[in-house]
Structure 1
């Protein structure tokens, strides 16, 4: 018997030695690769991952990383404070001159990397700069120094605080001498004023915020080389007639506008004054039924947009007071003019608003990344509902009562889902309903605006969404739920959710702990709290007992009352939170990073 055991043990030792030999041989083979080949391999890996995997492996790989002249692409999104400090000290500071792409998605990292702001002058190779979710504290000085960056051609800015003077902000950007691409998201309420002798080199401009209709002429006056313009919301706040003077923009070929509180007359004036050379038009409108006047569109296109190749409309609103009038109106888009142009259209009806209201949109192919699915069908009047090509759709918004019965389209490339408040959950499983429309395994983002979407339903859905990364919850998370009953629910669901935002005030310490149990991989958490809840929560943060065993390292407490902020600052100071956290109050939000 001992002989048999000895023989088995010898076999195990022999197998282990063989495995170690194979591992060492593979390691040796990789280390024997030429530097040029290793550099090519590094190009397929994120810079931080290269640093994390190889930098401390041995001296050769450390030297390969530090002594190279190859450009570096730095992407800092969700990363803990300690890891960032190490990365900043060992990689970013000594290699500023090599960085050609820099993406910062954290309100603290901009303060650290660009402190003082003139440090940006050391990034002599910088071509692309992305400042995402930042405050404007140092931005003015950063942009002033950026004028001297001769290679900077792409700029993306997403501000989390309020800008009082948008004109100064825009002019700083327009003065950047080599800028070709610019994407902006900010909160402001003032108009863009006109300043002479400033002309931007920007060719591609995306404004993902509300922009005043009254300032449209002034905006275009700064952009003589503009080719592509997209504005998320353009609105009319004064409702006064405006006589725009024409601007000839021969390079402007692509326009995408979402109109708010604007009628067709106002839009028509924009077209006649600025859009004579455009080839692609994406227009999103609502309410004014003149946007469904096919003959008026035909006249406007022939007279003012004769080069138009792609006409993409999405209009929602009411026409008349019955479904026959609505269908008579949209059927005018089946005339020979539209057929010869190969421009085709579909429509849906909102269940709550009835069949005299609907969403009318271009299709074949459907050219947008977002798609709203209501599926209210009148079989007598709503013909040819089946879509031919929905491959471009990445974000699906669903609502209505008849999704499971009437959805005849399948969205093969959707990775973001929004469940709207009018989505009626039947006796069928939520996963059964959704799997008939999309592949749940592909989802990485989930937005819930449904006021009665329970935690139990969310837990069930998490079982079928293994790649879900981000959840945004626009209602009360613990709506009418007894916390003692929640603790009986199986919270062991394996999920990869790293970012959670709950847009509703109210979260006790007990609820906070339950959320961390549901999402063990959570790194970023945004939640609203009342003054009393925050006063109880600060001592809990000071203890740091719970965070030692959890992945969370970034917390945003939103919707602070302005009058409470001085008291909050005193409370933070009294508990010495600055010893363990970086803390920032931006507008009405408290940010903590550790």
Structure 2
């Protein structure tokens, strides 16, 4: 590019930047939409006395208002309620209460009644369950109330009455309920009546048994999304769920599932036909690690499943031995899983305090340019916090030996304190690696890193760095590039954009014949940035071969002939 062309490009950029749009140029309709995302109190302070136009906008009778009541004293709450809530009951669509003292029916000014005829969403944080119970009957008269989020701050023994009354709310579409208690129970009977709730999104942020969950679901036949914090272990065996009629459920998440796999199978067999998303974390019952049983369950009873996120946790204090269920884990890499885009991963958390946690998981694959170089029938390994006390070295060695029995092709390392010797040891035990991702270089010391000739025959072809902060990291990156003679793809994630030219210059000067695909992951990219990089590459002759440079929102891709 000639000097004249560069000058014209910069002049055009300056002219484009001289075109301004003022906030006053926006239409009233746009302001109404913006106001819906701002708290009423903030709107009042910002716009009520600004000018006539904004005063009229603010007083528009059909403007939907949201408000957050989180003052520190009862007097402040009463003042806020009197000045802002009461005069605007007919305009408020969302109310957020952030303290236990705000719901008190003995004070008539705080009552939520039928005057809130546009109220759609109620959010109660840190409320006592008795106060919430006293409010529930008054909510029956609200014609548009579709969402309730309630977090109780006291210990509760029984949630039966709370759920019974909530299920009677005529227009409720979403419910999120958080409760705590050592012996929390729900004794709702199985619903055998025609009357039912219209809830479509249910979030149960408390522990419950599978039997209690089944009874709850009998009241919500229209349910679409279900999330449960914990399914408790129960002794009784679930034989049949003949009376449960739920036909729209497409998404289930169990953050901790402690029921036996055989019970979960029966549950899924009865509600899984339309299921598209299933997320489960569990431990203890090794039956969950049986890939064949999962394949049969999915093929026969969850034919529409598109997203599966599954995690099984093991904890090791003293030793780890290869058990029979470990030998079958490679079955999770068969064509059944690969064809559905579900990939198996092992995550090892080597913390400085026992136990060592090993998680076996299935998750959807995330598309990336570098995946064109990866094998499909692979197992990905993530090692968190590669740091250990000398007294635990024997256990760490046993973990590494255990890991090496699997066909690991992708390794992600997150090193809070880089145990370099152990890192090299781990690499030498994984001969099938074709992809290496390093989360941080902060603790890696070059003076400790001696190039290991025993690793020079590795098969690594993709190399990624998730955190580049200082220019000194370039030397560390170069060490790993030299460690991977077969590399084809390099990706570097930068915290800032000001140093991308120096990064690109350094990489190309030293490595343009070693690989031919480079990705810079930056906070944001634009066309001017691409032009400047092109000018630098051409002017400094960093690449004499034909090359192509592209960008997305936050990535710059550079590929050249090698």
TM-score tier by shorter-chain length is 0.5 to 0.7
The answer to which of 65-74 and 350-359 deviates more is 350-359
Mapping of residues 299-310 of structure 1, within 5 Å: 299-310=296-307
Q: Does 1:254 align with 2:248?
A: no
Gaps of 5+ in 2: 1-21, 368-381, 387-395, 424-435, 446-464, 470-494, 496-562
**Structure 1 residues 410 and 92: CA distance shift in structure 2, 3 A:** farther
Instruction: Give the TM-score normalised by structure 2.
Output: 0.58
Q: C-alpha distance in 2, partners of 1:439/1:262?
A: 43
Gaps of 5+ in 1: 1-28, 389-397, 412-424, 429-435, 441-463, 465-594
User: Does structure 2 conserve the Cα–Cα contact (< 8 Å) formed by 1:183 and 1:208?
Assistant: yes
Structure-1 residue corresponding to 2:122 = 129
Structure-2 residue corresponding to 1:190 = 185
Mapping of residues 205-216 of structure 1, within 5 Å: 205-216=202-213
**Structure 1 residues 299 and 74: CA distance shift in structure 2, 3 A:** same
Q: Deviations over 1:22-48 (max 9, x none)?
A: xxxxxxx98999876765664454322
How many residue pairs get aligned? The number is: 380
Shift of 1:169: 0.6
Q: Deviations over 1:157-214 (max 9, x none)?
A: 1111133331111111111111111111112411332154241111111111111222
Mapping of residues 146-295 of structure 1, within 5 Å: 146-188=139-181, 189-194=184-189, 195-197=191-193, 198-236=195-233, 238-246=234-242, 247-295=244-292
Q: C-alpha distance in 1, partners of 2:92/2:349?
A: 50
Q: C-alpha distance in 1, partners of 2:24/2:271?
A: 60
Q: Does 1:380 align with 2:404?
A: yes
Shift of 1:249: 2.1
Shift of 1:261: 3.6
**More contact order relative to length (CA 8 Å, sep ≥ 6):** 1
Q: C-alpha distance in 2, partners of 1:33/1:344?
A: 48
Shift of 1:70: 1.1
Shift of 1:107: 1.7
The answer to which of 254-263 and 39-48 deviates more is 39-48
Shift of 1:144: 1.1
Q: C-alpha distance in 2, partners of 1:372/1:124?
A: 54
Q: Does 1:317 align with 2:310?
A: no
Instruction: Compare CA radii of gyration and give the structure with the larger one.
Output: 2
Structure-1 residue corresponding to 2:359 = 359
What RMSD, in angstroms, separates the aligned Cα atoms of the two structures? 4.1
Q: Which residue of 81, 103, 111 maps to 2:104?
A: 111
Q: C-alpha distance in 2, partners of 1:426/1:80?
A: 47
**Structure 1 residues 235 and 438: CA distance shift in structure 2, 3 A:** farther
Q: Deviations over 1:477-505 (max 9, x none)?
A: xxxxxxxxxxxxxxxxxxxxxxxxxxxxx
User: Does structure 2 conserve the Cα–Cα contact (< 8 Å) formed by 1:289 and 1:318?
Assistant: no
Q: C-alpha distance in 1, partners of 2:71/2:438?
A: 35
Q: C-alpha distance in 1, partners of 2:69/2:325?
A: 50
Q: C-alpha distance in 2, partners of 1:30/1:321?
A: 64
What secondary structure is seen at the aligned counterpart in 2 of 1:138? Answer: helix
Q: Which residue of 107, 132, 147 maps to 1:139?
A: 132
What secondary structure is seen at the aligned counterpart in 2 of 1:121? Answer: coil
Q: Does 1:408 align with 2:403?
A: no
Structure-1 residue corresponding to 2:92 = 99
Structure-1 residue corresponding to 2:337 = 338
What secondary structure is seen at the aligned counterpart in 2 of 1:178? Answer: coil
User: Does structure 2 conserve the Cα–Cα contact (< 8 Å) formed by 1:289 and 1:317?
Assistant: no
Shift of 1:78: 6.4
Shift of 1:274: 2.8
Shift of 1:356: 9.7
Shift of 1:123: 0.8
**Structure 1 residues 355 and 157: CA distance shift in structure 2, 3 A:** closer
Q: Deviations over 1:405-445 (max 9, x none)?
A: 8693549xxxxxxxxxxxxx9999xxxxxxx86799xxxxx
User: Does structure 2 conserve the Cα–Cα contact (< 8 Å) formed by 1:117 and 1:142?
Assistant: no
Q: C-alpha distance in 2, partners of 1:280/1:40?
A: 32
Shift of 1:263: 2.0
Shift of 1:82: 6.4
Instruction: Give the TM-score normalised by structure 1.
Output: 0.55
Shift of 1:310: 1.6
